[in-house]
């Protein structure tokens, strides 16, 4: 995968300037490790490197706190500047797929890009930000955040496998994340047709009421219609809420469920 190749190049450059012997080089095998294990690999006050898998940019951080996930801070002002550039120069709650380089390990993870809470380092970063690993949760929820989970799987090369197994209701939830983060790659993975056109029309979407029909009772093998209550914000900031019909289908029985983008846009008219 291109993003993984770029990340490997960054890691190679980092170690090319390192005094460590060749035996200490990482194997470049990305691991998806549970938070219960990772929290001991990166204990509080420890330092590690974050690599953004989309851009290949990297910066150093220190874990300062966090029990359900890692609360971290960029180490220097330079690290803060790099992190902000990854987010296009604006702080954001959007999740991003990252690799954590610590010692000789590469661990898949997800970060958000919004300074919040307390900070202690002289780094021009007003607070800390969150790094999630497989199975970690936010401070307010008992279950893993789906958007973070998707980015962790993306970083670990397992996202396609995850999307293939989604049922139609789960697919809708991933579509919400793709739209709300304006993620062109993800929207193309869950929609037939022009997902990019959807992102140009819709800035935010929430499914406010969902069907309670059990997944095993869904009637169709390769196509179906789901009626849900949806609220959305258009690109011109106008808002609307109505009953919305999604057409969800497969090319063949063995394929992944996807949303028909043409029908989606027609529903918005």
pLDDT single digits (tens) 161-196? 999 999 998 999 999 999 999 999 999 999 998 888
Helix (H, G, I), strand (E, B) or coil at 194: coil
**10 Å Cβ neighbour count for 173?**
16
Distance in angstroms (rounded) separating the CA atoms of residues 5 and 25: 17
Dist CA 198 CA 135 (whole Å): 31
Q: What pLDDT does 3 receive? A: 45
Q: Taking the alpha carbons of 23, 26, 29, 34 in that order, is the dihedral positive or negative?
A: positive
With beta carbons less than 8 A apart as the criterion, state whether 75 and 123 touch. Answer: yes
Q: Half-sphere exposure of 191 toward its Cβ, with a 13 Å CA cutoff?
A: 28
pTM (two decimals): 0.87
pLDDT at 233: 95
**φ, ψ for residue 6, nearest 5 deg:** -60, -40
- Give the phi and the psi of residue 177 in degrees, each rounded to 5: -65, -45
From the list 143, 148, 142, the residue with the least C-alpha distance to 130 is 148
Task: Express each pLDDT in 125-147 by its tens digit.
Answer: 999 999 999 999 988 888 999 99
Percent above pLDDT 70 for the chain: 86
Q: How many CA atoms lie within 13 A of 227 on its CB side?
A: 2
Q: Sorting pLDDT into bands at 50, 70 and 90, what band is 158?
A: very high
Tell me what pLDDT residue 7 has. 47
Name the DSSP letter for residue 31: E
């Amino acid at each position: 995968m291109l993003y993984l190749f770029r990340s490997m190049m960054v890691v190679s450059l980092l170690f090319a300037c390192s005094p460590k012997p060749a035996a200490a080089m990482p194997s470049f095998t990305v691991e998806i490790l549970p938070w219960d294990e990772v929290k001991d690999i990166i204990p509080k006050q420890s330092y590690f490197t974050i690599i953004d898998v989309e851009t290949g940019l990297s910066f150093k951080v220190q874990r300062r706190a966090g029990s359900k996930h890692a609360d971290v801070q960029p180490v220097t002002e330079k690290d803060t500047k790099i992190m902000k550039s990854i987010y296009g120069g604006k702080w954001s709650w959007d999740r991003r797929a990252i690799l954590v380089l610590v010692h000789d390990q590469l661990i898949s993870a997800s970060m958000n890009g919004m300074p919040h809470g307390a900070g202690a380092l002289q780094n021009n970063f007003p607070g800390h930000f969150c790094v999630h690993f497989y199975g970690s949760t936010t401070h307010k929820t008992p279950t893993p955040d789906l958007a973070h989970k998707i980015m962790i799987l993306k970083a670990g090369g397992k996202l396609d496998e995850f999307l293939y197994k989604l049922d139609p209701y789960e697919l809708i939830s991933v579509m919400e994340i793709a739209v709300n983060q304006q993620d062109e790659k993800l929207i193309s993975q869950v929609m037939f047709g022009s997902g990019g056109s959807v992102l140009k029309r819709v800035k935010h979407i929430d499914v406010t009421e969902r069907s309670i029909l059990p997944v095993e009772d869904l009637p169709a093998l390769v196509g179906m219609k789901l009626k849900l209550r949806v609220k959305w914000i258009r690109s011109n900031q106008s808002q609307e809420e109505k009953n919305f019909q999604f057409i969800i289908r497969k090319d063949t029985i063995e394929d992944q469920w996807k949303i028909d983008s043409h029908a989606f846009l027609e529903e918005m008219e």
